[in-house]
Structure 1
């Protein structure tokens, strides 16, 4: 058997075998095909630690590689750019064949045939299918050490929760696929979002108990216990479980694992970032993150992905994030602004994708505390940690309503052009229509526009799927 190898610097400089657990011609149909000669079959994957670990790493590698397809990817750059357009953070400036498809995100006029929406759905289920295969394979694995088996079980459950987190937030009710029985899964109806959230939280609780505090490698490229806790804190926040969100955030903050204070703004998106809880490593030779390659521009050239005036005007006077994380390509065109959190495009690898970072945990805890009686002062303290790093004075918000708006504004300034935070924040706080409808063209915002459409190709393949209300006509 001829094997395909991929060198991955950063994962202890090991050479791992790129493994696909189960291959299939279409994610939405979950159809298995004959295994090509350079792909290991599942009965061989779980016979030793190295090949089983390679199976899990192949999921992360695919997430990075998929960014370079014609339809984008489920995560990373596509989530930052396209959900950023939905949140009125970013606009596409080029007049080409891509413009109408991108404009649908900015205008909130998405159609079910939008290929980028299709990728969010299909890629999400592709990764879910692979981690389901890993979870199943580990249950009957032989020849593996217990510690590696436990680590991989935790990683797989975390990744399943991670994928469902974005699917349920983007689409609402989605099919809940928990195994590899493709003949049954290809005809699953949409599961109520409440049940999907329950599965996300249960998977994260399992991952938190299975994973250890220590990262499996010298870098933060594979999840540890705090990674699971970071997403769990977010999941609790999104479900209004304030005390549990506070406790998970405190677990991370108080661990000392990520420093006693927030690092300088210039260090946040470096590959050695002290506040990084989980990162993903770019896998294309001589390239850093896609954000660095796509968001940045040359002097006197209009950015392809331009930051909106509404975002620029949201920054307080003296906010150092505006100077550290935003670039302006022309002094004569002050609106030519672009996200510059990542500053490296091609060349030596100096930046990794930051998926979870410590700052979010302070803001999760601030919001969770603001919702609880008697915790206004504690909420202010957490908010001020973030404001201090940005060079701002302590917050003047002194009651619950003011604090919640202050946290929302702080999250806007902190997480712009990053993983769709602003879009998801406005949705979960039920403020999307009030904030975004006035910025949309007439008649494009409809009740239900906070959800993306279920891709039409998925509905054609599965007659039990239904469309979201805003896209029925």
Structure 2
């Protein structure tokens, strides 16, 4: 932890030089040419400032369940525009990420331009260039994911020079791949603990594979993922739930993540947005998992879950819309306890326990009684609650500064992306089944049965759905697979059938709107379909 704090202190220094007045400077290049980039310390600080833009973006997305709130697996209890399909192109939701990502690109471009001219240790110089290229590629990948084709800027520019038209998605992908190919050659395989969180060659190769995957270049994607699986030394962390608690950070599964600490201004907002009122930090439950997510977790034997398989003590079918049925503790426990273990390691379900402030064990009783000191009380009626990313007991005392890192790429993702790419390339083979079943075996779930290409595709999609909820991957998945309209137009309900909101997903939402404010400044930009 102390090592991570030292890394953040360096970022603070860099921000004093290049963040506070970033938007106000008439000449963005002037700072880099006259006031900075003199020695190795400047180079390290300048690259650290690129990471800061990445952390800032992720912290913004924690407000929306890392964007999974705009899918069918989690629900945004506050904002409504992007969850109902009625958002507008001039909204700050689009301009905020666009600005942060291009700020990071500007910083990366500056580092890539200036570092080669600094007299410093050549191995450190190469590493920093690799980090800058990796981060620039990551920012362009996210722009491509959310907006499609975007203008490519590869040098630091003044704002009055930023008037390029949009490049095509294929051109953006090619640019990303070239940056990552360069980064693979420049970056080390790993670091000492003092530099935990920096990009490695395995992060660059994994992201290059992901870029190929999004571009449906299946053979290239599978080759990159296969190389990472066989050569990186990474492996699945043995306990799934520990992946989302700072006590086990920087474990063998992490390939790249956003790093945070329990210090004001340098943590993330997960405890306040994912957390609930029973925690020490008094979470808001701004994001909550949906009934559709919970019902998708299989039984422990690998068979699909169905409410029809459960009866009350009177021999009647369990009716989830009947609040009285939820009061039957033993029956409800039976429904949830014999399921895929990831369910209760991810979500607080009725009649399960949660460690509240002061280490007090609470039970999610139904019906809820706020006057019962032993009752877990949700912020909203009859909703599930996140366990993932939420500190229990007194682990975190900083309401807005959770120290949990947020994964960008973990080894489980590489395994499942390999399985997807290989299955799409040539159908299921032994390596596809091995990759999927390796993820399932971590939580003692049985292997999947052999099937056709289409059947295995659905198994891979199911596995991604229950392995990564709340991490933001599913929202990107349903958009690249073009299944958002199919999945996300329905009433969102609590677990007793109470309507919370009507969820909407329009065809246009497969890509976000180019911010209207950017089009006003740059007439060369064109709008995405449906957002005109």
Fold match by TM threshold 0.5: yes
**1:263 and 2:238 aligned:** yes
The residue correspondences of 1:197-208 to structure 2 (distance < 5 A) are: 197-208=173-184
Deviation at 1:315, TM superposition (A): 1.2
Equivalent residue number for residue 325 of structure 1? 346
The residue correspondences of 1:17-166 to structure 2 (distance < 5 A) are: 18-19=13-14, 31-32=26-27, 41-43=32-34, 45-65=36-56, 73=60, 77-78=62-63, 81=65, 83-93=67-77, 99=78, 102-139=79-116, 141-166=117-142
Which residue of the other structure, out of 147, 158, 162, is the alignment partner of 1:171? 147
Q: Bigger radius of gyration, 1 or 2?
A: 2
Task: Write out per-residue CA displacement over residues 157-208 of structure 1, whole angstroms, 9 at most, x where no aligned residue.
Answer: 1111101111111111211111112256421111111111111111111111
User: Contact 1:279–1:354 (CA<8 Å) still a contact in 2?
Assistant: yes
Equivalent residue number for residue 244 of structure 1? 220
Equivalent residue number for residue 306 of structure 2? none
Equivalent residue number for residue 385 of structure 1? 438
Equivalent residue number for residue 232 of structure 1? 208
**1:461 and 2:436 aligned:** no
User: Contact 1:8–1:14 (CA<8 Å) still a contact in 2?
Assistant: no
Deviation at 1:375, TM superposition (A): 4.3
Equivalent residue number for residue 277 of structure 2? 298
Structure 1 counterpart SS, 2:509: coil
Task: Write out per-residue CA displacement over residues 55-89 of structure 1, whole angstroms, 9 at most, x where no aligned residue.
Answer: 1112223443566xxxx63xx525x6262122122
User: Contact 1:277–1:358 (CA<8 Å) still a contact in 2?
Assistant: yes
The residue correspondences of 1:302-321 to structure 2 (distance < 5 A) are: 303-317=285-299, 318-321=339-342
Change (3 A) 1:390 1:56: same
Equivalent residue number for residue 277 of structure 1? 255
Q: Work out the number of aligned pairs and report it.
A: 444
Q: TM-score, normalised by structure 2?
A: 0.76
The residue correspondences of 1:362-381 to structure 2 (distance < 5 A) are: 362-373=415-426, 375-381=428-434
What is the alpha-carbon distance in structure 1 between the residues aligned to residue 344 and residue 502 of structure 2? 34
Task: Write out per-residue CA displacement over residues 341-364 of structure 1, whole angstroms, 9 at most, x where no aligned residue.
Answer: 223373497632222111001101
Equivalent residue number for residue 4 of structure 1? none
Equivalent residue number for residue 324 of structure 2? none
What is the alpha-carbon distance in structure 1 between the residues aligned to residue 529 and residue 114 of structure 2? 39
Structure 2 counterpart SS, 1:278: strand
What is the alpha-carbon distance in structure 1 between the residues aligned to residue 466 and residue 513 of structure 2? 28
Structure 1 counterpart SS, 2:445: coil
Q: TM-score, normalised by structure 1?
A: 0.85
User: Contact 1:86–1:108 (CA<8 Å) still a contact in 2?
Assistant: no
Deviation at 1:437, TM superposition (A): 3.8
What is the alpha-carbon distance in structure 1 between the residues aligned to residue 32 and residue 284 of structure 2? 49
Deviation at 1:264, TM superposition (A): 1.1
Change (3 A) 1:284 1:132: farther
What is the alpha-carbon distance in structure 1 between the residues aligned to residue 462 and residue 25 of structure 2? 42
Structure 2 counterpart SS, 1:120: helix
**1:337 and 2:322 aligned:** no
Structure 2 counterpart SS, 1:470: coil
What is the alpha-carbon distance in structure 2 between the residues aligned to residue 380 and residue 62 of structure 1? 38
What is the alpha-carbon distance in structure 2 between the residues aligned to residue 311 and residue 118 of structure 1? 30
What is the alpha-carbon distance in structure 2 between the residues aligned to residue 129 and residue 414 of structure 1? 34
RMSD (Å), alpha carbons: 3.1
What is the alpha-carbon distance in structure 2 between the residues aligned to residue 241 and residue 280 of structure 1? 27
What is the alpha-carbon distance in structure 2 between the residues aligned to residue 339 and residue 464 of structure 1? 43
What is the alpha-carbon distance in structure 2 between the residues aligned to residue 52 and residue 426 of structure 1? 39
Moved more, 403-412 or 348-357: 348-357
Gaps of 5+ in 2: 300-338, 355-363, 368-380, 493-500
Deviation at 1:107, TM superposition (A): 1.3
Gaps of 5+ in 1: 1-6, 94-98
Change (3 A) 1:291 1:14: closer
Change (3 A) 1:45 1:217: farther
**1:447 and 2:507 aligned:** yes
Change (3 A) 1:83 1:467: same
Change (3 A) 1:466 1:216: farther
User: Contact 1:30–1:183 (CA<8 Å) still a contact in 2?
Assistant: no
